[in-house]
Amino acid sequence: MTDITSPITSKYDQNPYTPDFSGSDDSNNSDDSPPDILGNTQSPKVTVAWDAHRSFNDAPNDPNGGDSQSTTGGDDAQDFSVNFATLGSQINSMLTKTKTLVTEYESLRTKVLGSEDTVFGQTSMLPGQGPATFVNGNGGTGFWSPNSDESQKPSPTAFAEPAKKFAAEMNPHQEKALQAIGATLELVGEYIALVNYSGQVYSAADRKSKFPDPPSKGVTG
């Protein structure tokens, strides 16, 4: 049987990933586990906080926690215009697509994290020899009762042990991939919030815009 933990040379991958499990030469270290080369692999749980974009008529609230009322010096901006209807529509479109991505991500995350202990065949079993005694009493194959003879007891397949070793190396990489996807979706959410914040800032500026007061001595012409 092929050892699935051994590297396989592929003509399609000229630079395969080769982890360095050499570790440190510390004789006092009795831990034989490979060093942590992936860092944090905790995948975030992601949700979409908004069903639709926040009204541009609301006062701007800096999503980064800064003071939205503060101003800095600089040259006056040139003339420009903002189509708030189009901006709001585009934000809502991004929210709709992001909800779909978040739903797919959460489904994948649940499936991966819920099957890590079995997906590679770690628990694969051979049926027992001879007639089995069934727990449900209905007959059939695949069940074994503690009251049965040992020869009827299912046993792990030859694949189970190498599968466990493979899972020990592969599961952290799967978790790291999930973390990367989740982190990307979080950045998408931050981007949408910043775009919405920009619309609120432009809207607040528009509401506070006014013509300057006329000269104190009146208008002459």
Other Cβ atoms less than 10 A from the Cβ of 81: the count is: 7
Cβ-contact 94, 192 below 8 angstroms: yes
Tallying the residues shown for the chain, one arrives at 221
Mean pLDDT over 57-82 rounds to 67
Cβ-contact 43, 109 below 8 angstroms: yes
Other Cβ atoms less than 10 A from the Cβ of 40: the count is: 9
Stated as kind and residue range, the H or E segment containing 89 is helix 84-115
Mean pLDDT over 56-74 rounds to 65
> What digits encode the pLDDT tens for the residues 124-183?
888 765 444 444 444 444 555 555 555 556 778 888 899 999 999 999 999 999 999 999
pLDDT at 65: 63
Would you call 169 helix, strand, or coil by DSSP? helix
Q: What is the largest CA-CA distance in the chain?
A: 115
Question: Is the pLDDT at 7 greater than 50, yes or no?
Answer: yes
> What digits encode the pLDDT tens for the residues 83-141?
999 999 999 999 999 999 999 999 999 999 999 999 898 888 887 654 444 444 444 44
Identify which of 121, 107, 105 has the alpha carbon closest to the alpha carbon of residue 177.
Answer: 105
Give the pLDDT band of residue 30 (cuts 50, 70, 90): very low
Q: Which amino acid is at 28?
A: N
pTM of the predicted protein model? 0.62
Q: How far apart are CA 71 and CA 206, in angstroms?
A: 16
Mean pLDDT over 19-31 rounds to 51
Q: How far apart are CA 144 and CA 81, in angstroms?
A: 75
Q: Which amino acid is at 15?
A: N
Which DSSP letter does residue 21 get?
A: -
pLDDT at 209: 84
Q: pLDDT averaged over the chain?
A: 77
Q: Of 2-6, 100-104, 144-148, 203-207, which has the strongest mean pLDDT? A: 100-104
Mean pLDDT over 67-71 rounds to 52
pLDDT at 57: 83
